[in-house]
């Protein structure tokens, strides 16, 4: 198990290019106030920057939302949830990112997971919390769901993570984590094959039954621009907030090495992620990476 901040730089091999060898000689400089990288195969720490400093995490919260849903005993991903007006009202009131779910539509749990993770739909998060939580009222059910999120954090041994929100919108500021803790959550969550399928999609179409029996097709685009921009990237989740700044949980496989990482409050989060992945995969592509552009009207997060 690694205990230092980073691995020693590997020696250049006969097949390694000079630029890649030079890049491996020094740790990358990041814009992030907090960052972490782990080896997905061994769970070993590769890199940490302020790894145990508590920070707001914005919509990266939704990785735990998804993990709780998917690890609910007996979960039926094809169960249909009827969208309530209260979900839309919540998004409008908070000015939150949305999957634009329409009142009365019947959407499956699986579809809601796409609406949660791709366009970062806070309405989808509300719907999932309301559907999976227990209690006789929406407030009780969503509170119950958040309790499940905190119970999972405790189960994972996380002492610096607390949730007071199912989507990252925190009124009291008691929705925080650390780079190390969030990487642990992501590592746990990505053991689920359904979630791995969801978060690697750059877009998704969902056909839902409307209240009048018709069909509505939702089209969602993944706010994570590392996908389709950095070779080997397959997730995971963006987040942006006033207190949190730009955040990113990312995963990629390069040169046979799979890493999961976290950027918290990074003004150049995608380049930060690419720099870390390059450094520990023995490649040099961050400088030439061109970000996948989101269509006009797509959610940003």
Angle between helices 179-189 and 62-70 (to 10 degrees): 30
Q: Residue 66 burial (CB < 10 Å; 0-12/13-18/19+)? A: buried
Single out the catalytic residue among 45, 49, 59, 284.
Answer: 59
Q: Which of 136, 130, 137, 141 is nearest to 82 (CA)?
A: 130
Identify whether 62 is a catalytic site residue. yes
Single out the catalytic residue among 45, 46, 49, 62.
Answer: 62
58 neighbors 168 (Cβ within 8 angstroms): yes
Identify whether 33 is a catalytic site residue. no
Say which DSSP state 60 is in. G
Distance CA 238, CA 121 (A): 12
Q: Which of 254, 268, 263 is nearest to 39 (CA)?
A: 254
Identify whether 229 is a catalytic site residue. no
Sheet holding 203-209, edge to edge: 80-82, 106-108, 203-209, 215-221
- The residues, any chain, with a CB within 8 Å of residue 278's CB and separated by 6 or more, are 23, 28, 254, 284, 285, 286
Single out the catalytic residue among 45, 49, 97, 120.
Answer: 120
Active site residues: 59, 62, 120
């Amino acid at each position: 198990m690694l205990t230092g901040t980073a691995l020693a730089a590997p020696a250049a091999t006969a097949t390694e290019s000079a630029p890649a060898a030079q890049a491996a000689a020094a740790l990358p400089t990041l814009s992030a106030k907090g960052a972490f990288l782990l080896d997905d195969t061994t769970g070993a720490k590769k890199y940490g920057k302020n790894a145990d400093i508590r920070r707001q995490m914005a919509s990266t919260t939704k990785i735990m939302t998804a993990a709780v849903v998917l690890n609910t005993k007996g979960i039926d991903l094809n169960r249909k949830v009827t969208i309530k007006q209260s979900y839309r009202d919540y998004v409008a009131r908070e000015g939150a990112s949305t999957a634009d779910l329409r009142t009365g539509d019947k959407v499956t749990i699986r579809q809601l997971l796409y609406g949660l993770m791709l366009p970062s739909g806070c309405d989808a998060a509300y719907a999932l919390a309301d559907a999976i939580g227990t209690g006789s009222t929406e407030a009780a059910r969503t509170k119950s769901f958040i309790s499940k999120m905190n119970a999972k954090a405790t189960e994972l041994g996380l002492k610096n993570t607390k949730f007071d929100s199912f989507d990252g919108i925190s009124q009291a500021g008691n929705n925080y984590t650390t780079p190390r803790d969030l990487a642990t959550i992501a590592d746990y969550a990505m053991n689920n094959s359904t979630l791995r399928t969801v978060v690697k999609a750059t877009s998704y179409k969902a056909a839902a039954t409307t209240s009048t029996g018709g069909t509505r097709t939702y089209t969602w685009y993944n706010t994570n621009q590392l996908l389709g921009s950095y070779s080997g990237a397959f997730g995971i989740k963006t987040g942006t907030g006033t207190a949190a700044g730009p955040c990113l949980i990312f995963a990629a496989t390069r040169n046979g090495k799979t890493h999961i990482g976290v950027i918290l409050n990074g003004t150049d989060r995608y380049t930060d992620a690419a720099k870390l992945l390059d450094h520990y995969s023995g490649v040099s592509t961050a400088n030439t990476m061109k970000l996948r552009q989101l269509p006009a009207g797509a959610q940003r997060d």
